[in-house]
Structure 1
């Protein structure tokens, strides 16, 4: 193997920073993309939660959104959804692999199943904390018609009006 090939192989070795980076990027792309595709369903779900009398079923809800706000309303919050779930997926995939290599050194008397469970649970906690600010903006964009157009103007608006607490309180109070 040449020097360049050896460098690439070392970067992708398990427990190397390059390996965790690849896992993180894979998680970002897979989770961000799959959640992006479901944006219309998410828009309807959020509106059904906020106004159940108006949006009482799937077909009638989609019809109401389309008639009142146009076809683009079905994609409201797409950037916050793509970026937020991308960050969540990146944390989930990358941190799972990291914790999976870290915990056996700390918890030497535990079996692999427990290590995998604990690694997954730990990664999920960090992933969900990372998702909250994006989800907070997304819900506001989807449920409050004049709040913001998307992530780029929604983030500063939440921060300006509510500070850092606004990125977590809104999600918890749904």
Structure 2
């Protein structure tokens, strides 16, 4: 793959500034967006650990809001924001680094899809090491009553004090099982889909406006998202179950509270 020359107004491709911009973009893309869907994630984690806890998402949100208010619906947003900001930095920044390393330096003649798959797998493998402790804390916070911890800092201290640093990483293998296939499918499908769309349109990417390019990227991302979410779901359930604190069947207390509030 030949290195493209940047226009004067653009960041030079594969420069330090380029990789830094990709890493920053990853933080913005993952941290705030995962935090915004904390209400969905909260109910998802609880239902994965105990399928009988709530009958539906709406019923769950009504129950949580009636007892804890809106703040309760967003419980766990702190470790979510921190963890997925780190993960986004490693995933998007690392993907571009490894795509350049594999495609331009180590294996320039290899099929591009193979490069996309290899780069995304490597980047996600490393990014999940940063994500895992905060994912573990978040799940424990969201699936226990009374809460395992009130915030990420307290959760970190409690896990380390009782289980050592290994306790923060006991869900790492299923996290890899969830995130690595997810990211491989996402990036490879996205890159292939976007290339196909421009090929179908019959003109190079540079001939379209920024808004039109964003539209193509959005469509490619939407299509990629369907595939990667489907392939990662089984391992996602394992992450929730392994990281939940079931001592004394704490979710049973949630079920009792839910029945009492009816």
TM-score class, shorter: 0.7 to 0.9
The equivalent residue for 2:88 is: 89
Q: Does 1:167 align with 2:168?
A: yes
Question: What's the CA shift string for 1:115-163, capped at 9, x where partnerless?
Answer: 1221112112222232111100101111123311111211121111111
Retained in 2: the 8 A contact 1:48–1:56? Answer: no
Question: What's the CA shift string for 1:44-75, capped at 9, x where partnerless?
Answer: 11121233222221121112212233331111
Unaligned segments of structure 1, at least 5 residues? 1-8
In the alignment, the residues of structure 1 paired with residue 59 and residue 165 of structure 2 have an alpha-carbon distance, to the nearest angstrom, of 36
Q: Does 1:141 align with 2:210?
A: no
In the alignment, the residues of structure 2 paired with residue 108 and residue 101 of structure 1 have an alpha-carbon distance, to the nearest angstrom, of 9
In the alignment, the residues of structure 1 paired with residue 80 and residue 167 of structure 2 have an alpha-carbon distance, to the nearest angstrom, of 17
In the alignment, the residues of structure 1 paired with residue 134 and residue 31 of structure 2 have an alpha-carbon distance, to the nearest angstrom, of 12
* Structure 1 residue ranges, 4+ long, deviating more than 3 angstroms after superposition: none
**What count of residue pairs does the alignment treat as equivalent?**
165
In the alignment, the residues of structure 1 paired with residue 161 and residue 13 of structure 2 have an alpha-carbon distance, to the nearest angstrom, of 42
Retained in 2: the 8 A contact 1:77–1:142? Answer: yes
In the TM superposition, residue 166 of structure 1 has moved relative to its aligned partner by 1.0
Retained in 2: the 8 A contact 1:32–1:83? Answer: yes
The structure, 1 or 2, with the larger RCO (C-alpha pairs under 8 Å, 6+ apart) is: 1
Q: CA RMSD in A?
A: 2.0
Q: Does 1:100 align with 2:169?
A: no
Matches for 1:3-42 after TM superposition, within 5 Å: 12-42=11-41
Unaligned segments of structure 2, at least 5 residues? 1-7, 172-238, 244-262
In the alignment, the residues of structure 2 paired with residue 160 and residue 13 of structure 1 have an alpha-carbon distance, to the nearest angstrom, of 47
Which TM-score applies when normalising by structure 1? 0.85
Retained in 2: the 8 A contact 1:80–1:135? Answer: yes
